[in-house]
Each structure stands twice: as structure tokens, then as C-alpha cells.
Chain A
Amino acid sequence: MDTLNHILNGFAVSTMPINLWYTFIGVFLGTIIGVLPGIGPSAGIALLIPVTFGMNPTSALIMMCGIYYGTKYGGSTTAILIRTPGEAASVMTSIDGYEMAKKGRAGAALAVSAIGSFIAGTLGVIGLTIFAVPLSSMALKFGPAEYFTLMLFAMTAVSTLTGKSPAKGLLATILGLMIATIGIDLQSGQARYTMGIPEFQDGVGFVVVVVGLFAVAEVFRGLEDIYKGTGAQTMKITGKLWLTKEEWMRSIGPIWRGGIIGFIIGVLPGAGGTIASIMSYTTEKRLSKHPEEFGHGAIEGVAGPEAANNSDTAGAMVPLLTLGIPGGGATAVLMGAFIMYGIQPGPLLFQNRPDLVWGLINSMYIGNVMLLILNLPLIGIFVQLLKIPSGILYPLIIAISVIGAYAINGSMTDLYLILIFGVVGYVFDKIDIPVAPLVLSLVLGGMMEQSFRQAMTISGGHPKIFFGSVITVTLIVMSVVSILLPFILPMLKKYKEDGKDE
């Protein structure tokens, strides 16, 4: 009963005019950020944190979440019209979506991705509403040892699932944790790894790292592409922005399946929207009666992946809100935003601030409706953004990043740091080191160390506490398995094949 009251109360919060306004701003900016190549949800949210400082936290967080799920809508537009994913997770859409556009069915492709996104996005928020309470009450029993092992599992899963090489994923994770140790140690008051730079005493801000890795590095890559002359041709919106009955019949199954796949992948740490949309695409191709159409403009190849990457965002909010542990790069940035507003996401938040949690969750229902309107009848406005020459767009992104980075402390160190992390991000991309694990572990690093030390204090300095409960042991086993899996799987496969030969 209590929960139902909280949920209804949440609707009162999210329908307050001020919060409706910020939901709108969030999803509007999200669509823009999604449409524009070169800037994604992580950089978008990070840049807004310093600028929105001093706002009411509920409204600010509603807006930032709006950006997060809004980008998924916008990203498909760019994927369909210029075959460049405006946002990483829409990479699968760019295959069949662009082919549809070439055949004069751009309108149908845009329509199915907006409608599919809406259905799956709403489905995802319903899932979030259902799972939030039981999961958060379970997490209330977690002590420091459970939290430490949970973070360990989130990080190992992200390490091995993002990028091509698990070793490089782990390297990125450790680098993030190492950056998190820079600054004054909160328990002993000792300065660590500050290299004599006074600004480092407060640590390296995560906004600076995210802006450098996700915005500035992306600008370097984009300008490199302009120089190489690999810019793509923008397709015009052709055909009615609606679906024929046949197209609709073909899309509805993929939308439901994609929605469910996306939500499950979203809840689990590590995988994220890109993998969710790839899984949906391969599922649809396998189920299809005409798999040869995939890659040549099959509408199922747009409907499924778009649905998957939208319900993924709602799924990813589940561990962030209920456990306080994000499972990927973009939710890690959202968590950073929560913390900068002095709010610790997690089970206690459901007890102490139900108005905020449910106001936020329920705003996602409203935001999805707004996004459907923005991305269907009004999509023409956003398509105009694609006319901005990238030679102007990329330098502008640097100038915007400068405001975001300087606004935090008014410090020149932060400006030079976004440049350094921009170069690091560019180089890491070239040598296949993923940056999402680095951001995740940077955000969680402080918490992870604290829970490690608290657990060790409780146990009197003996690591046996990490094997003291069913939960910790399960999580440790899962962490070890996720590290060893990429090595074990090929061996098993080989073993099976060898068996067949005999």
C-alpha cells in the first residue's frame, strides 16, 4: 500500500509544471544530442552538470535522465538518414534503416523507429516500476562486503563485455580506479598521487574525464574524418511518415521481442544498448522467413534493434536506482550527476526520498510520450540539424566543452585536463582500449575503496569477510567467471569439435 502511495505521489511530482518543463528540455536536448554525431549522452549529461548547478535536484535529475533516454530516439534519425549512428547504440539501425531510405522508405523507417522506441521505452519503464521495490528492499540487507563484491562483479562484467579484448577492458577499469585514488584519502587525510599539483587534492573530477574522453576525443576523430573526406551523404525524408499495414504487421513482433531483450540486457551490468540492439537484430534475422532481406532494407532490422536500445535505457536504470551501482558508461555518468547533487542512489533513496525516485521514474512515462511527438510529427525540425557542416559543428563542440569544464571550478587545470583526456580517448580508440569501463570505475572507485576498507575493519583485517555470505560468494564466483569466460568458451568449443572428429 505504501508503495502504491509513493508511486501515485510520484505522478504528482512529475506532473508539476516545472518538472514537466524540465522533462521536455531533457528529452528535447536528448533528441538534439542523439541526432548530432560526435556528442553522445555521456558527454551531454556531463556538460550540463556544472551549468545546472543550484537547480532543484529532482528537476535536474529528471532533465538529465531525459537526455539519457532521449538520445536513443535521436540517434536513429542520423543512422537512417546518413548511415552514421548519431549515438553508438543505433549502429544496427544504420544498416537496414539507410537501405530503406535509399529505397524511398525513409519515412517508414523513421516512423517505425519512433513507434518501436516508444512502445519498448514504455515497456521498459513499466519493468523498472515493477522491479524497483523488490530489488531495493533486497539491497537494504547489503553490507560493505556485499557492496564491494557487487561493484567487483559490475566492473568485471563491463571489462570483458565492452570492446574486443577483455584484457584491455580490465586495463581500462583499473586505470579508472587509479584515477579515482588521486586526491586526499578521506579516511586518513593523506594526499595520494597528487604529483604536487594543488588542484589534484580534491581529485580529478569525473566531469572533466567524461568530457575529454567522450566529447573532445570525438571531435578529434570527426575532424580526422573530414580531412580524410569520409563524410556521408544525407538522405532526404521520402515517403509518408507512417507505416503500411504490411510493414506494421512485420514490425510488431520485433518490437515486443526487442523490448524484452533490451530490458534484460539493460538490467544486467556490462552489455548495454549496443549489444542489446545487435542481439535483437540477430534474433530477428534468425526468426525471419526471409533472412536474405536483412542488410537490404528489412523493416524488422530497424524495429527490433531500436526497440531493444530504448528498453535497455529503462533496464539500466534498475541497478542504478535500486542498488546504487550503474552497469555501464552512461549510467555511471548519471550516477556522477546524482552524487554531485548530493544524492546517493540506492535502496535508502527509496525510503528517504520516494518523491524524488518515483517523480523521476514516472517522468520517464511522460518523457516517452513527448519523445514520440518530437520524433514523429516534428522530426523535420531535427533533421535540419544535419545540415550544420561538420567543419563548424566539431569546433563548436570544443567551445561548448570549454564552458562545461571551466564552469565547475573556474580552473585552468580542468581545461588542460579535458585536452589531455581528449588525446587519451583518441589514442585509446585507435588501440582498441574501451573507455566506458574507465568511466564506470572512476565513478565507483571512491565507494569501492570505502566499502573495501569498512568490510576489512568489520572483520578485523581479515579478507574472509568477502566469503562470509551466500551473496558475496555468488558475486565473487560470477566475477571470476566473467573474467575467465572469454578464455574458457573457445576451449570448450574446441573440445566439442575435437570430440566430433573421433
Chain B
Amino acid sequence: MADRIIFVGILVLAGVYFWATSQIPTLEIGDPLGPKAFPRLLGVGLLISAAMLLAEMIKERKAAPETNEPEEKEDTSTYKIVAGVVVATGIYFALFEVLGYAVSTMLFLLVMTAYFNKGKWWTNVLTAVLYSFISYYMFSSLLGVNLPRGIAPF
């Protein structure tokens, strides 16, 4: 099932890529190939991978002819958890320049450890506070990495 979606996905992507390639303006000077030739080759490569995938799908079907086995049911709640982590990380990034590196990182670590390392309040709070401020000091002062200060008072 997943392979069928990938197959359609490749075809759609190839279509979009060929279209986007045709949109690149070209000047007929200098190199004979221009900026479009190599991408066109890649588009063809994409179609080859789609053809190979189709061949593999047919081979698999021949090997295991429609046993009609019930599709493995994955627990959808795990995907919800991963989606939650993605959203939390997105919020962390959105607040990154507003609150600054240290404060936003501390909040992110507090929220994440509160869920994934449940019940160990002392360890979690200590890790979040110490890591975010010490790493801020280390990277911005000692290694000269430019991290946003945000609302941190120092």
C-alpha cells in the first residue's frame, strides 16, 4: 500500500520538477547546455526509479499472490505522540528568536522531559535550567556562536 503511494508521489514530483525546470529562464550565451540539461536528466532518473518500483511491486505480488492477510494495524496513538513532538519543536522554533535561546530551550526541555521522563521533577528542572544557561554561555561567549539573547537579562 505504502509503495503505491510512493509510486504516485514520484510521478507527481517528476511532473512538478519538469514544470519547474521549464520555468528557469535561459540566456543563450556561454555554456552550450545551460542550467536545464542536468535537471532534465534528474527528472528522467526519477521516472526510472518509478519504473523500478513498479517492477518490484509486480515481483512482490507474484511472490505472494493475494493472501488477503489483514493489514497490520499500527497503533495510531504513537503517530499522535510523534506529531505532538513535531508541533512542540515547531513552537520552540517559533519562540526561539522572541524569547531567546536560553529561555526557549529551557521551556522546551521542561515540557518534553515532563512528558517523557515523568515524575522526576528535580532531575528534569535541574537539567533544563542548567543545560540551557550553561550551553548559552559556552557557545555564545566561549565559542562565539551567535545565539539570540531574547528576553534573557544577560
Q: Residues of A at under 8 Å CB distance from B?
A: 50-51, 165-168, 170-171, 173-174, 177-178, 181, 185, 187-188, 190, 192-193, 216, 219-220, 223-224, 226-228, 389-392, 394-396, 398-400, 402-403, 406-407, 410, 412, 415-416, 419, 422-423, 426, 430-431, 433, 449, 452-453, 456-457, 460-461, 483, 487, 490
| Complex CA distance for A181 and B34, rounded to whole angstroms | 13
Q: Does B141 reach chain A (CB closer than 8 Å)?
A: no
Q: Are A392 and B113 in contact, CB atoms less than 8 angstroms apart? A: yes
Q: Are B85 and A223 in contact, CB atoms less than 8 angstroms apart? A: yes
Q: Are A174 and B46 in contact, CB atoms less than 8 angstroms apart? A: yes
- Checking A168, A171, A395 against B112 with a beta-carbon cut-off of 8 angstroms, the contacting residue is A395
Q: List 29 A-B contacts (CB under 8 A).
A: A50-B145, A166-B52, A167-B55, A167-B56, A170-B45, A170-B49, A173-B45, A174-B42, A174-B45, A177-B42, A178-B42, A181-B42, A188-B27, A192-B35, A193-B20, A219-B85, A223-B81, A224-B82, A227-B78, A228-B78, A392-B123, A395-B116, A398-B108, A412-B97, A419-B86, A430-B2, A431-B6, A457-B32, A461-B32
Q: A391-B116, A403-B139, A461-B32 are in contact. Are A396 and B109 (CB under 8 A)?
A: yes
Q: Are B145 and A403 in contact, CB atoms less than 8 angstroms apart? A: yes
| Complex CA distance for A391 and B123, rounded to whole angstroms | 11
Q: Are B48 and A170 in contact, CB atoms less than 8 angstroms apart? A: yes
- Checking A394, A430, A431, A452 against B38 with a beta-carbon cut-off of 8 angstroms, the contacting residue is A452
- Chain A residues within 8 Å of B70, by CB: none
B86 nearest in chain A by CB position? A423
Q: Residues of B at under 8 Å CB distance from A?
A: 2-3, 6, 10, 17, 20-21, 24-27, 30-35, 37-39, 41-42, 45-46, 48-50, 52-53, 55-56, 59, 75, 78, 81-82, 85-86, 89-90, 92-93, 96-97, 101, 105, 108-109, 112-113, 115-118, 120, 123-124, 127, 131-132, 135, 139, 143, 145-147
B114 to chain A, nearest CB (A): 9
A270 to chain B, nearest CB (A): 16
- Checking B21, B45, B93, B109 against A412 with a beta-carbon cut-off of 8 angstroms, the contacting residue is B93
Q: A190-B35, A193-B20, A403-B147 are in contact. Are A165 and B93 (CB under 8 A)?
A: no
A294 to chain B, nearest CB (A): 28
- Chain B residues within 8 Å of A415, by CB: 93, 96
Q: Are B85 and A174 in contact, CB atoms less than 8 angstroms apart? A: no
A195 nearest in chain B by CB position? B20
Most buried by A among B3, B34, B108, B117: B117
B35 nearest in chain A by CB position? A185
- Chain A residues within 8 Å of B30, by CB: 187-188
B32 nearest in chain A by CB position? A461
Interface of B is mostly: helix
Interface of A is mostly: helix
- Checking B33, B53, B78, B105 against A168 with a beta-carbon cut-off of 8 angstroms, the contacting residue is B53
| Complex CA distance for A422 and B88, rounded to whole angstroms | 13
Instruction: Given contact pairs A171-B6, A181-B42, A422-B86, enumerate 20 new A-B contacts (beta carbons under 8 Å).
Output: A187-B30, A188-B31, A190-B26, A224-B78, A224-B81, A228-B75, A390-B116, A391-B115, A392-B113, A392-B124, A395-B109, A398-B112, A399-B109, A402-B92, A412-B93, A416-B93, A452-B38, A453-B37, A453-B38, A461-B32
A267 to chain B, nearest CB (A): 26
B37 to chain A, nearest CB (A): 7
Q: Are B120 and A389 in contact, CB atoms less than 8 angstroms apart? A: yes
Q: A178-B42, A410-B146 are in contact. Are A456 and B33 (CB under 8 A)?
A: yes
A225 nearest in chain B by CB position? B78
- Chain A residues within 8 Å of B33, by CB: 452-453, 456-457, 461
* Nearest 3 CB-CB pairings of A with B: A391-B117, A391-B116, A167-B52
- Chain B residues within 8 Å of A399, by CB: 105, 108-109, 131-132, 135
Q: Are B38 and A168 in contact, CB atoms less than 8 angstroms apart? A: no
Q: Are A171 and B90 in contact, CB atoms less than 8 angstroms apart? A: no
A132 to chain B, nearest CB (A): 31
- Chain B residues within 8 Å of A181, by CB: 38-39, 42
Q: Are A227 and B81 in contact, CB atoms less than 8 angstroms apart? A: yes
Q: Are A170 and B52 in contact, CB atoms less than 8 angstroms apart? A: yes
Q: Are B81 and A171 in contact, CB atoms less than 8 angstroms apart? A: no
Q: Are A187 and B146 in contact, CB atoms less than 8 angstroms apart? A: no
B123 nearest in chain A by CB position? A392
- Checking A171, A173, A188 against B53 with a beta-carbon cut-off of 8 angstroms, the contacting residue is A171
B137 to chain A, nearest CB (A): 12
Q: A399-B131, A415-B93, A460-B32 are in contact. Are A192 and B147 (CB under 8 A)?
A: no
